[in-house]
Amino acid sequence: LYREAILKKFRPSLDNILYILHDLQDNNPQQYLAKDDIRVCADYLNVPYSYVHSVASFYTMFSLEPRGSTIIRLCDSPPCHLMGSKSLLAYLKDALKVDVGGTTKDGKFTLELTSCLGACGVAPAMMINDEMVGNLTPERVDAILERRRKES
């Protein structure tokens, strides 16, 4: 039912598809586009299911798999790479015991890589849901994970 309310916010015009998908994903408790999300979007815009799926799968901000409540997006573009994101990735994988794209067993964290976030002045940087954090070290990562574990 909440999906109806989201759709109503936008004109049923194809150029609104990214806005609709953003909104549906943000409101899905598992932070992804479920089949139902794609279906209601397709029906609303009067396009085939496959069309919406093809658009959703093209953009990296959309996920077609369920994700944890906290999504960690570590930047691995050259500037962050130079400043040590490679070793941070190894550290994060080890701390969360997941691979890139994976979600922890308790459903709390999903680890992803992202292209440049434009936070290169404080590289290495990552996004935690909508929040940017920079100047990362293993100690800072630990503190952030700890805080998130408590919050959720």
Partner 1 sequence: MNLVRNHVLISIDAGTVMAGARAVEKALVEEIAKQGLSDEIAVLKTGSVGTIGQGVVIVVYPEGIYYANVTPQDVPQLVEEHLLKGRPLKRLILAETPKQTVFKKEKAGLLKEQPRIVLRNCGVIDPEKIDEYIAEGGYMAIGNALTSMQPGDVIEEIKKAGLVGRGGASFSTGMKWDFARRAPGDIKYIICNADEGEPGTFKDRLILEGDPHKLIEAMLLAGYAVGASKGFVYIRGEYALSIERLEKAIAQARDYGLLGINILDSTFSFDIFVMKGAGAYVCGEETALIESLEGKRGHPRNKPPYPVTEGLWGKPTVVNNVETLANVTEIIKNGAEWFKGYGTEKCPGTKVYTIIGNVATPGLIETEMGTTLRDIIYEYAGGIKGGKKFKGALVGGAAGAFLGPDMLDVQMDFVNLKEYAAVLGSGAILVMDESADMVDMLQSVLHFFKHESCGHCVPCRLGTAQLVKLIDRIALLKGSQEDINKLLKISDVMRDTSFCPLGQSLYLPISSSLKYFRDEIDSRIR
Residue numbers of the site for partner 1 (CB under 8 A)? 13-19, 21-22, 45, 54-55, 58-62, 76-79, 81-83, 114-123, 127, 130-135
For partner 1, which is the closer residue by CB, 25 or 103?
Answer: 25
Minimum distance of partner 1 from residue 46's CB (angstroms):
12
For partner 1, which is the closer residue by CB, 1 or 15?
Answer: 15
The enclosing H or E element of 38 equals helix 35-45
For partner 1, which is the closer residue by CB, 10 or 91?
Answer: 10
Q: Residue 42: what are its φ and ψ, rounded to 5°? A: -65, -45
Instruction: For the chain, give percent helix, strand, coil, nearest 5.
Output: 50, 10, 40
22-54: b or e for each residue (b if 16 or more CB lie within 10 Å)? ebbbeebebbbbbeebbebbbebbeeeeeebbe
Minimum distance of partner 1 from residue 62's CB (angstroms):
6
Partnered with residue 73 across adjacent β-strands are 112, 127
Minimum distance of partner 1 from residue 106's CB (angstroms):
26
Minimum distance of partner 1 from residue 137's CB (angstroms):
14
